[in-house]
A and B are shown apart, each in its own frame.
Chain A
Amino acid sequence: MNSNFDRSISDEDVFKRRATLLQRLHIDGWLLLILLALAAGSLFVLYSASGKNWDLLIKQGSSFALGMVGMLVIAQFEPRFMARWVPLAYIFGVGLLVAVEVMGHTAMGATRWINIPGVIRFQPSEFMKIIMPATIAWYLARHNLPPKLRHIAVSLVLILVPFVLILKQPDLGTSLLILASGAFVLFMAGLQWRWIIGAVAAVVPIAVAMWFFVLREYQKQRVLTFLDPESDPLGTGWNIIQSKAAIGSGGVLGKGWLLGTQSHLDFLPESHTDFIIAVLSEEFGLVGVCILLLVYLLLIGRGLFITAQAQTLFGKLLAGSLTMTFFVYVFVNIGMVSGLLPVVGVPLPFISYGGTHLVTLLSGFGILMAIHTHRKWIAQV
């Protein structure tokens, strides 16, 4: 009794469906609206967090504009067209990571950049944030679901190569995000629960064995500091102590915009980047953070909706992974700043200052838009 199915689609119907401007431009209105809201909110909070620094604000505004343009450009591409280029992109991305290892530019004790003086300077690991889930999605979409053990094994190898390369840079935050983005594809592809449980169960004995047989004393020390930042109160722990006080003193309603004392006056050296949620919590209180979380949930909800609606398997898997990874950003950042999780360098998506993460995230949403807006077109063919 599916009336929709029975009714033949006339040319006019098709025209009507595709008539709206947004659809013709391959823009998802919901996503755009939420992202614009976040951009506005980010500039608002950043103005306070940066100590009314207009230069910084203008830079962030430009990054948003640039990222939005990039997102809309990406949205124009047909997902199946993207899929065709994925294997090549993966090889290229891993090649760049190897190049970083061999000849990368070292800054602040980490080799993460490729620097061609006067031309460009970039972090290949950023590309991997998109390439990684796309690769696994491309690979698993070629086979029947749920994935067989052989496919899982190949996927794991594909995930572990860039993971290890980025871990060596060293950049724990990014490597974990990339690991997660690959793992989410497996999850979305219906990785059997027994495998998931088995993997989690295996982590524990492996970690214990590593601790006793592999790690050296100084490495253990580093892990301990990582797990308990407060044992290093002059380094990372410093930020945690300060950010907890800032968040806590914000209360339910906050102290008001520009009125936060802890985050402004005190020692929160990263108050406008990774620790910006502390400023937001202090000035806008629990209510402010909850509103932000609500906006994030709307974004994730839309992402999951797109996942469910996506017509190709590749689109489904990629959209699902991008959405879930986005949530990891949110969870890890807020968890870390509020002292729930160890400190790793993960920005608060769309709010933290910084051009690179904006461009990467917006590219991801561009792909989501592409998956969603090209759907009807595909349906007709």
Chain B
Amino acid sequence: MPQPIRLKDHEKDARLVRRRVVVGAVVVLLLTCVLIARLYYLQVIQYEHHTTLAENNRIHVQPIPPTRGLIFDRNGVIIADNRPSFSLTVTRERAGDWQQVLDVVVEALELTAEDRALFEKRMRQGRRPFEPVPILFELSEEQIARIAVNQFRLPGVDVVAQLVRHYPQKGHFAHSVGYVGRINEKELKELDPVNYSGTHHIGKTGVERFYEDLLHGEVGYEEVETNARGRVLRVLKRTDPKPGTDLTLSLDVKLQEAAEQALGGRRGAVVAIEPSTGEVLAMVSQPSFDPNPFVTGIGFKAYAELRDSIDRPLYNRVLRGLYPPGSTIKPMVAVAGLDAGVVTPQSRVFDPGFYQLPGHSHKYRNWNRTGDGSVNLEYAIMRSNDTYFYDLAHKMGVDRMHRYMSLFGLGQKVSLDMFEEAAGLMPSREWKRARYRQPWYPGETLILGIGQGYMQTTPLQLAQAVTLMATRGKWIRPHLLRSAEGKTPQQLMAEEVIEAMETPPDIVLRDPKFWDYGRFGMEQVMHGPRGTARKVGDLALYRIAGKSGTAQVVAIKQGEKYDRSKVQERHRDHALFVAFAPAADPKIAVAVMVENGESGSGVAAPVVKQVIDAWLLGEDGQLKPEYRPPVPVVEEASVSP
């Protein structure tokens, strides 16, 4: 690169730079003086002040953890509150040989070696330096006294009053509200260390987990002067924490209890949704467990007992339990068939007790071996006629079936704010190719029509599907939160989160009357002359639209112990039932699953009715005034095509 030689500028440039060097040197000297002045100020002028702080006393900034927001049911009954409790804390840095200190604690309180091991584990969960680690909760007065007596042998050990999460409803909401537990190492890494300093618990499951950000609040702090032993002498400055937000859930404690009672000790799940709002009114997974021990740290043995129980109390059947929906989806399939134009309300199928694909010898059986004769859509729903739905499914084909059933939320997460919901499975051609590398066979479409085969749904999805029948296709994601700070869950959640959920669009049928045919079929299930659940429907003070179903239990679940009597019982089909009521103007939609209950209409339907009764009937056993139809309805006047 040729450069012009600039000899004449050379000396001028050098002079310029030299001048700037001098300016730079002056600036450096001046700024150094500023630093020295600052240090002089701190070390000479403020020396006394800092020495006082440093020598006998130290200033500490102590975080003040915010109190966790409370959780109420829709009527203001408390589901989760905070109870003052005395805890034993150890500050590792002040304890010296903390192993030995733990030994003394165990000895003084006469605890077991198991407790000792638990303490050690808690101590090892490192937090900020000098942060007291709570190792034992809910001290009794005697224990506090014993600690006081031994205080001289226990450096770094303190008895402190803390607010500890408490679930007065015990097992009732363990699967929906969830519980908080101690922050573990993994969570510690992901948390905002500032906002969680001083906080020892975090939502682990359910609402507690999903709304952790709201419930937690914002940390406060106080600047305190402590002596050399860490005792607080004086508070210099305090900023109050911002307490967590209280949540009002859509759940109803009374309905929840009624639903649990209706299950009558059987294993199963109940979900009740208010169709107009998507609010979940009850969410039962039985058996349940008491979440309270999980807050303070459940013992290994107690946990093992829960974990290994054959009844699987820790298993959230509502959100995680996957079952073939069985006949419960027939009303939705019927509506889809009408919309797709493959059947009309009047078209009939002759049922000899089985269905055969043209050119195939295999007989697809109706549950009623003798056959129902010539059946139309409404009759097919009422009788849960399999032959009719084999035919319908065959005409629809798997692709359309997949599309329509997905609109009803099957095979995807449907909830707005429930933690750890399973997506279930709505099979399609593509899915089968990817999963099994096999083509789709026509016979597989047939059994989709009666809710069997590869299909896997959760009770929550069934509840949402029947809610869509009740709302005529209006989609609202079911949710547990009713309001917090006067805002709905949709308002509280970030737009992009809601967008990412990809809520299915409202189901718009070619003719809205198609809904009525499906719904009337469901009503006939309960109230029709040959309805499969008429025994239950007859007893109701209002009209119900429902549908029974059976989920086949194919194999014994892995890990279950072989026990002849139990295994046989556990081989029985799961009983399903979905319904909404009052049929004309639905106020509640319910899905029930009774594990190994065998008969949907015989076992699950009465549960559904009890739940609906609990919601619609007043204490006098009559319909609550707000649920009575505005105009007295004559039996025949209901939606009849």
Contact = CB atoms under 8 A, between A and B. Distances in A.
Nearest to A333: B35
Contact of A252 (B43, B128, B129, B194): B43
Interface stretch (A16-24, A198-206, A334-342): A334-342
Contact of A234 (B3, B19, B61, B130): B61
Contacts of A223: none
Contact of B35 (A190, A237, A324, A334): A334
A266 B54 CA distance: 10
B214 interface: no
Interface string B1-40: 0010010010011101111110011001101101110111
Contacts of B239: 233
Contacts of A246: 54
Interface in B152-207: 194, 197
Contacts, number: 154
A241 B49 CA distance: 13
A80 to B, nearest CB: 11
Given A142-B3, A244-B42, A250-B43, A233 B58 contact: no
A331 B35 CA distance: 7
Contacts of A251: 43-44, 47, 51
B61 A238 contact: yes
B54 A261 contact: yes
A280 B34 CA distance: 18
Interface string A222-253: 00000000001111011001101111111110
A338 B32 contact: no
Contact of A190 (B17, B25, B58, B219): B17
Given A144-B6, A320-B17, A247 B63 contact: no
10 contacts: A144-B13, A145-B17, A235-B194, A248-B43, A262-B58, A286-B39, A297-B29, A320-B20, A338-B35, A339-B38
Interface stretch (A36-44, A56-64, A299-307): A299-307
Given A266-B58, A331-B35, 16 more contacts: A187-B20, A233-B61, A233-B239, A234-B61, A235-B194, A245-B59, A248-B47, A250-B43, A281-B39, A285-B43, A286-B44, A290-B36, A297-B28, A297-B29, A320-B21, A334-B38
Nearest to B50: A248
Contacts of B21: 188, 304, 307-308, 320
B13 A145 contact: yes
Query: Which of under 10, 10 to 19, 20 to 34, or 35 or more describes the interface residues of B?
Result: 35 or more
A340 B50 CA distance: 17
B59 A145 contact: no
B63 A234 contact: yes
B46 interface: yes
Contacts of B40: 286
A190 B194 CA distance: 47
A316 interface: yes
Interface residues of A, number: 57
B364 interface: no
Contacts of B12: 145
Nearest to A260: B54
A245 B31 CA distance: 23
Contact of B47 (A249, A296, A334): A249
B55 interface: yes
Interface string A248-277: 111110000000011001110100000000
Interface of A is mostly: helix
A146 interface: yes
A188 B16 CA distance: 8
A145 B49 contact: no
A275 to B, nearest CB: 14
B39 A188 contact: no
A131 interface: no
The 6 closest A-B pairs by CB, nearest first: A248-B50, A249-B54, A190-B16, A249-B50, A248-B42, A316-B17
Given A145-B9, A248-B46, A262 B16 contact: no
A210 interface: no
A335 B17 CA distance: 28
B50 A244 contact: yes
Contacts of B197: 234
Contacts of A250: 43
A267 B128 contact: yes
A165 interface: no
Contacts of A297: 28-29, 32
B289 interface: no
A289 interface: yes
A245 B20 CA distance: 38
Contact of B36 (A142, A188, A293, A324): A293
A106 to B, nearest CB: 14
B42 A247 contact: yes
Interface centre among B19, B32, B194 (most CB of A within 10 A): B32
B221 interface: yes
Interface string A351-364: 00000000000000
A222 B55 CA distance: 34
Contacts of A145: 9, 12-13, 16-17
Contacts of B19: 190
A301 B25 contact: yes
A313 interface: yes
A286 B36 CA distance: 8
Interface string A132-163: 00000000001011100000000000000000
Nearest to B198: A234
B223 interface: yes
B53 interface: yes
A187 B420 CA distance: 60
Contacts of B34: 335, 340
A339 B41 CA distance: 11
A189 interface: yes
B16 A300 contact: no
A327 interface: yes
B31 A262 contact: no
Contacts of A49: none
A27 interface: no
B233 to A, nearest CB: 15
Contacts of B128: 267
Interface in A279-325: 281, 285-286, 289-290, 293, 296-297, 300-301, 304, 307-308, 313, 316-317, 320, 323-324
A338 B39 CA distance: 7
Nearest to A286: B43
Nearest to B6: A144
Interface in A181-195: 187-190
B47 A189 contact: no
A249 B61 contact: no
Contacts of B28: 297, 300, 324, 327
Contact of B17 (A269, A285, A317): A317
B25 A304 contact: yes
A234 B221 CA distance: 8
Contacts of A293: 32, 35-36
Contacts of A290: 36, 39
Contacts of B20: 187-190, 320
A286 B43 CA distance: 7
Contacts of A301: 25
Contacts of A241: 59, 61, 223
Nearest to A310: B17
Contact of B38 (A261, A304, A335): A335
Contacts of A267: 60, 128-130
Contacts of B9: 144-145
Contacts of B18: 308
A338 B42 contact: yes
Given A241-B59, A293-B36, A308-B17, A252 B44 contact: yes
Contacts of B194: 232, 234-235
Contacts of B35: 293, 331, 334-335, 338, 340
A238 B194 CA distance: 10
Contacts of B3: 142
B43 A320 contact: no
